[in-house]
Chain A
Amino acid sequence: MTNDFDDTTRGFDETDFYPENMAGPRDLDLRPVPPFPFLLFASGLYSWRSPIIVGPIPPLQPIPFPRPIPVNPEMPIPDPRPGPRPVGIQDQAVDAASLSLFGNSEDLRLDVDGRYPQMTASGTIYRAFSHRTHWIARLTQTAPNSYTGQIWYKDGDTATFPFTNVTITVVKSLFANQRSATLVYTGGGSTYTRTFRFVSSYFHKAEFEYDCETGAPATLQYNTGAHPNKPAGMPAELLTIEKVYQRAGIDATRSPNSTVIPNDGPDPNTTWSDAEMHDTMQVYWSRFANLPQWAMWVLFAKQHDMGSSLGGIMFDSIGPNHRQGTAIFTNSFVANPPAGDANPAAWVNRMFFWTAIHEMGHGFNLAHAWQKHLGTPWIPLVSDPEARSFMNYPFRVSGGQSAFFSDFQFRFLDQELLFMRHAPERFVEMGNADWFDHHGFEAPDTGKETGFALELNVDRSKPLYDFLEPVVVEIKLTNTLAEPKIVPDSVLKDLHNIMLITKKEGRAARTWAPYAQYCQLPSAIVLKPGDSITDSIFVSVGTHGWLIDEPGHYAVQAAMTVQGYDLVSNPLRLRVAPPRSFEEQYVAQDVFTEDAGRVMAFDGSQVLTSGIAAWEEVVARLPQSRAAVHAKVALAMPKAKIYRTLDIDAIKGGKEVKKQFRLAKADAKASRDLLNSALMDAPDAVETLGRVDYAYYTDKFSATLKKQGDDKDARRVSDAAAQAISEAETPKQHRTRERKSAA
């Protein structure tokens, strides 16, 4: 929606075109065109997203047979030990010139005209969802469509953002898709230009859902001309809560899911505690979720436990996500007009309307006008006890509420608008909070408009793992739109683009980083509507060590960037059972080591001897265990083919170092025995390996048998694997079966 036609000088407001009784989304197609002449505005939200670069599939090149490496004594080849861990997302210093390489995006909020312009621009640069830089600049106009200014605020990953000034040139148009803004960053020894596409005349979106207790009517609008005490010259209009916030730059909409909450207990006049309101919010708010979102629940209720002295409250300081719920109390002092008032009914209506917007302002993290300097303000703020703002108490100013409303314009102050429009999103967005202790998945752009859903699942009926059992989770990316989407075929294999965090109950969250990263030329696949791609991730161990080892409760969550959008998965909760025997505790000392972790992660080794020994011990001492299934696969895979190792031998008595590849013969029988035992004989192989990895290993097993000339056995493996996979229940099937049994 655009407020291009919002001409404040003529008292002309685009929202006048919308009927006040409209609930739910507005129908943009019915919006009439205002008469000439009209003004085009530059203010609003602009966006840039990096495209996915897809190249042609190169022809396969034959891998040459290894030749001896020429020896150069001046350039010794280092020992074949694990080197420094691969550079992960947290280590990369992305400079401005490479902003376009990794699925980045940028937003620009330009605030130079329209309603209450702040002559400000702000921007957010998103890199790989966990890196974010936010800046704010004060602007002056230098030409009809050009603005320039100094950056006075930076937040987030500022080390890679050296710029000190911005120059912005705007292209206006009647048609949204032809509007753009070109921004030139300068200063700090660098210059960088970015062109943004227009997105919206508003700076943020927010949805408000209003519910009422039986007998507590909601006040959602007010006729500003109804009460005689008002600023001289202020036009009379029917003002809605949404319109107030729209004028503040928020694309505010009203949820269609309003509910009247029954009060059918023994005492219909029972009062509300904060905890009760929070519980009710969880039940009745259609959008309740323990995550940040631009949405708020507003309850009109009779009275709080505090009594009639509390007219309203932003009660949601409970749980992990605050500021999502507010309440207004109809049986409070707000309902009591001053004695002798000229229009008591209008006075009360105005106060309830004002109180609702006031409490919702707290949901946007606005403080009272006299509290600005308290707590931790986002920038140094000056308190103003005389402020004519929704965030002041009318009765606190000199002259009381009469003086307040005599010059109150039903708006927020400029410093409040600056905050709501331009502060870092996490400061304003309802429910925004640190994620997983001190780890920050910064509030991602996970709006429904991304068209993707990211899920983590375990391929078993209950997320319960045996002690020592390697944890393999399934990661799934789904196209949630009604149109096809193109994604790289390796989108779930490029682990540098996926951030995974595990957290054991009682411990700090830790980032999982893979032992290896793969650089591939991406090719594209088409995801039809509703289609998914799936892959597996072995999350127990990585370059940061073993993350899932001891018994206890864990949570795992993933995030990634696809087509410039940040996706965050569900938090997957799982449990590791305690050891059942002394044997398990004994072998754990060798299993939970780096070498053993690497052997498991790379499906085997012939050089990490201590790691190999650890898994051999698992097979010997715990042959029926789930850990043994994984161990047998890791021990079998290197034996299935000719295995190449790099040997470095120092020649006795001399400085010459002999380096050569050594080829170990395949041990087909040993490999076959181990894989048969793990994949064909173990009853829970599918469940412990997961379908994705089980299918992968059985495919490789079958292919190896075929290569060895045993077609019959290859077919046996394929057929048995297909049957095992089809017989293994999905978690959904398991729940359905349990429900039927219970019935």
Chain B
Amino acid sequence: MVHCDVLVVNGNAVFGAALCRLLGRQGHPAVHAAAERADAEAARCAPRLLLLDADPDPVDVALTAAVVRRAARGIATLLLIGDAADPPLALEREVGALGCVSRHATGEVLDQAVRRALRGQRATPHGAAHRHATAAPEAGRGGRAPLAGLTERELLVLRAMMGGLRSEGIGEHLGISRHTVRTHVQSILGKLSVHTRLEAGMVGLQAGLSPLVRPRPAALSGS
């Protein structure tokens, strides 16, 4: 059995593996696994802490946390999230997490959160984590208005709109419901101060945003 302190579960294999190197340098031996292999890896390595990416579907995240807890009894959990100002409290409770760490946090913040979690303590309260996130030099989406106010998800939806996709296509592409897409679209229109998807798309095009899916010309008829 290979011993490790931390099991990193992240769909982004490069990020996951690099986090393991970072944690290793901080004195926390760590291994990375994709969600599908998380329980096998937990059984193999007996980690004391699960660092779980909360980006994909919350249902998948909760399921992964549950199977890992069964494979490695007593394991603590920290969630890796996008926006420290908007922590998924319901998800935290459901998976029994000791707290969240933002992807905008520094390595030092991660180190502190991991040390606290290994002692069974909650991660730094969210307010402080948020201060860390906003204090970091390139935190969040600084940069050109009017796109600066859009969340990460909204930017993805806008880029999908720019390729000419409709709500259903956008939903399929991003793995969210049509209803959720419409909610995002309404928010985007409001933040960009425009009335139509066309205008929003034009704002995106003129800001040099690249479409999520490249538009392709229709097949020629006749000829």
User: A and B from one assembly?
Assistant: no
